[in-house]
Amino acid sequence: MDDIAIRKEGRAGRITLNRSKALNAITYEMCVAIDAALKVWREDDEVALILIDAAGDRAFSAGGDIAEMYATGTRGDYSYGRTFWFDEYRMNARIADYPKPVVSFLQGFTMGGGVGVGCHGSHRIVGESSQIAMPECGIGLVPDVGGSFLLALAPGRLGEYLGTTGARMGPADAILVGFADHFIAEAEWDALKVRLVETGDAAVVLAAATEPPDGRLATLRAEIDAHFAGETLGDIVRALKHAESPFATEALKALGRAAPLSAACTVEMLHRLRPAPTMRRALEMEYRFTYRAMEHADFIEGIRAAIIDKDRNPKWRHAGPEAVPAVDVSKMLMPLGPDALTFEEEGK
């Protein structure tokens, strides 16, 4: 498959995303190929670690390839999207639970589906160009691919802030929030990959790590924790409206671009997950939303406005972030019964 290069080199199982012109957007076929390789390498004693990287310098992966989801969804066929998410989430869980080290190199944009591939391993490396984000609320989804799990584990209320606004994290912020582990100058990456392949020893990553350039979130923590601590999205918006600061103004503007139902569900999901966060619980809850997203939420309209017509003027189902009834949130996050995400094949 030209879109992805999967091979064994030395002591490493190597996965290289190879759609640089499409910012390495993850297709369904790529998800299936990654999952299949991980299953094989788990039982292969010659493979000591997994190394995941991507072609080009603009992006590790800017997200999932959602064009086919839109095309099928607008015809009233929701099965393709549901199958994509079902299998993608199982692959994300396999990376998170993998018994061998998984080392990822996250240059440029790592967003959405790219987070699902690159941000659940054991050694997540960022460099000078790294920009990590979960911008799903802007297209009528919620932070998924296990993103809600990482956000629920984030310090204070950084999860609510990043999940609803889609704000981007540079290398220091990604490490602070828990989306990455180590900063290594990108000029050193090729040599580090050679050592990983030769030795099969993920400890060489630690020896190469240095301090990242300063981020912005550490200085904003007090404001974020104060304003994003509400029980609902409406509480958060009201707190921001009463604040008089450049940060509050910027955050309100970002929330104004989000689908209100998506942002409200994101806040509720993080509140549910935070007391006992697990990757599989997060994925199962995300799937409740994405399973319903094309039919009962704003996903189709969000894609139309952002990617198809590119008018940046979506007509959301709700008038604003304070206009989402609690019952609408509950309906999107209700258990799916026999359609629920399952992980039965894990460990086989």
Instruction: Give CA–CA dist 151/158, Å, rounded.
Output: 7
Q: Is 97 exposed, middle or buried (0-12, 13-18, 19+ CB in 10 A)?
A: middle
Q: Helix or strand or coil: residue 33?
A: helix
Q: Which two tokens stand for residue 266?
A: 């994101």
- Write the DSSP string, 284-344: HHHHHHHHHHHHHSSHHHHHIIIIIS-------SSSSTT---HHHHHHHTS--GGGS---T
Instruction: Give CA–CA dist 334/330, Å, rounded.
Output: 6
* Beta bridge partner(s), residue 110: 61, 132
Instruction: Give CA–CA dist 266/165, Å, rounded.
Output: 10
Q: Using an 8 Å Cβ cutoff, are 208 and 192 in contact?
A: yes
- Write the DSSP string, 213-279: PP-SHHHHHHHHHHHS-SSSHHHHHHHHHH--SHHHHHHHHHHHHS-HHHHHHHHHHHHHHTTS--H
Nearest to 16 by CA among 179, 190, 145: 190
Q: How far is CA 174 from the centre of its chain?
A: 12
Q: Which two tokens stand for residue 193?
A: 């990959």
What residue ranges in 107-197 does DSSP mark as E strands? 109-111, 123-126, 131-133, 182-183
Q: How far is CA 287 from the centre of its chain?
A: 13
Q: Which two tokens stand for residue 168?
A: 């981007």
Catalytic (active-site) positions: 64, 113, 136, 144
**Neighbouring residues of 66: CB distance < 8 A, sequence distance ≥ 6:** 139, 303, 307
